Amino acid sequence: MAIKRLFIANRGEIALRIVRAAQALNIETVLAVSDPDRDSAAAQLADRTIVIGPASATKSYLDPRLIVHAAKESGCDGLHPGYGFLSERAILPTLCHAHGIAFVGPEPEVIDALGDKLRARAMAGAAGVPLVPGSDCVASAADARREGDRIGYPVLLKASAGGGGRGMVIANNAEEAEAGFHRASAEAVAAFGDGTLFMERFVPEARHVEVQLMGDGRGNVLHFGERDCSVQRRYQKLVEEAPCAAMPDHLRKQLHESAVALAASVNYRNAGTCEFLFDVKRQEFYFIEVNARIQVEHPVSEMISGFDLVQEQIRIAGGAGLSVSQDQVKLTGHAIECRINAEDVARDFLPSPGRITRWQPPQGDGIRLDSHMTQGAMIPPFYDSMVGKLIVHGSDRADAIARLSAALDAFVVEGVPTTIDLHREIVAHPDFIENHIHTRWLEQVLLPERAKRAA
């Protein structure tokens, strides 16, 4: 049964994005809001809003009972969780099912299985997805040398019982592997009372690539190409692009096939993303995890495919099959997205909520802005500090960078500090232009350079 009235259990730009997608499908919208979000852009556009709780997210957006109660009592037959908040908590689809509401996302069992790193890794292995080469338990220095030689250096020696970096040693050759075994094992005994180690290949300069997937829950899965999200700070993505220009076509094909195989093996339903680590030197990719939801950076895939992923999500949750076949998915050009946050970069990216006194976004061909902000809008201090996503589409990567650079220059925001200046610097950096970046590039290269200039 196609969804007639959709409940939106989220806020910010993604809530607005979902309201618009539903309206394009002639579906009524009911938006959950917390007290300070009563007048948000999404609230103004939705057919109805329900104030579910106070500012505190644990008493509003993170309480699945309040969310499902409001959805049910307002006569909704579908619920979209967006990203973040409860989007990957199995309790939400479980409650939805119990109350006759279609959940826009995978089955709760699939969310649980993919959310467990070890189970997800086993599922990926079973589906033939490449995993980071590693060892079983390593019992001696001689074992460590043998396994290191087999895996290939550098390797990471890790405590089986461990976590948080304790008992972890990087070894660049066989000698270091032997010496590292003694050191890591002693550390592991001291920290965890258990000296058992295992080894894993260490990729010092990796790229983060991920494949956008859409499944019908019956074993049919489409991909919408890959994204490269290697500009990161503390594992938070700042810039995302599609496709991954650093990846050769034969590898790209394998990457897509691996992601589709994994999703198909669990009859994946709705939108998902399979994340990989790409070792550019070795030209190999390894499974990281699956995110069982729509992602922040989905627009870059929409820009190169011309396909609305959120509308497809809602249709599939309403029981429809996939609306296109794989050969109808045509990927053209290059898209880049910048996440713009209200943060003070100079003060260690301190979130800086407040009122937007001037909001003058760029406009033009190939420019898309996903934002809930307007002049005079308030960024409440209670949630994340993202003010919007600037996305550009060009004929190739160089063209996209040129458009992005012009768009960032034209973007004027006053009232709160934002990361727009930082994005200008990223986009203008020779390493970014030449595409010689990796997941630690921002923290190891650009930010130190910036700090040096400021000193």
Partner 1 sequence: MMSSDTVNDRAITDARALLDTLLSSGWQEVHVVSGETEIFIARAGGGINPMRNLVASAEPGISVATEDVAEICVTAQHVATLVDIVPLGTDLQAGDRVATIRILDVEEAIPAPVAGRISGLSVDVGALIEYGMPIFSIAQAA
Residue 36 C-beta: closest distance to partner 1, Å:
6
Give the C-alpha separation, 453 to 185, whole Å.
42
Q: Tell me the one-letter amino acid at 248.
A: P
Buried b (16+ CB within 10 A) or exposed e, 191-219: bbeebbbbbbbbbeebbbbbbbbbbbbee
Nearest partner of 199 among 164, 156, 250, judged by Cα: 156
Q: Which is nearer to partner 1, 55 or 324 (CB)?
A: 55
Query: Of 11, 293, 339, 397, which residue is the catalytic one?
Result: 293
Task: Calculate helix-pair angle for 64-73, 91-98, nearest 10 degrees.
Answer: 30
The one-letter code for the residue type at 216 is: D
Helices 91-98 and 108-115: crossing angle, nearest 10°? 170
Q: Which is nearer to partner 1, 35 or 284 (CB)?
A: 35
Q: Three-class SS of residue 162?
A: coil
Q: Which residues bind partner 1 (CB under 8 A)?
A: 34-36, 50-56, 58-60, 63, 65-66, 68-70, 72-74, 95, 99, 344, 350-355, 381-382, 415-417
* Structure tokens that stand for 318 in this block: 């309403």
Interaxial angle between packed helices 309-317 and 12-24, expressed in degrees from 0 to 180 and rounded to the nearest 10: 70
Rank residues 51 and 377 by Cβ distance to partner 1 and give the closer one. Answer: 51
The CB-of-382 to partner 1 minimum distance in angstroms stands at 7
Query: Least distance in Å: CB of 81 to partner 1?
Result: 17
In the complex, the smallest distance separating the C-beta of residue 353 from partner 1, rounded to whole angstroms, is 5
Residue 233 designated active-site: no
CB of 341 to partner 1, least distance (A): 14
Using an 8 Å Cβ cutoff, are 186 and 155 in contact? no
Token digits of residue 82: 């967006």
Q: How far apart are CA 21 and CA 167, in angstroms?
A: 49
Nearer to partner 1, 69 or 436 (CB): 69
Q: How far is the CB of 37 from partner 1 (least distance, A)?
A: 11
Do the Cβ atoms of 316 and 270 come closer than 8 Å? yes
Closer to partner 1 by Cβ: residue 346 or 451: 346
C-alpha triplet 279, 283, 284: angle, nearest 5°: 65
List Cα–Cα distances, 410 to 186, 359, 431, in angstroms. 56, 11, 23
Enter the DSSP assignment of 443.
Answer: I
Closest CB to partner 1 among residues 53, 195: 53
Nearer to partner 1, 354 or 364 (CB): 354
The nearest distance, CB 212 to partner 1, in angstroms, is 34
In DSSP terms, 237 is beta-bridged to 232
Active site residues: 293
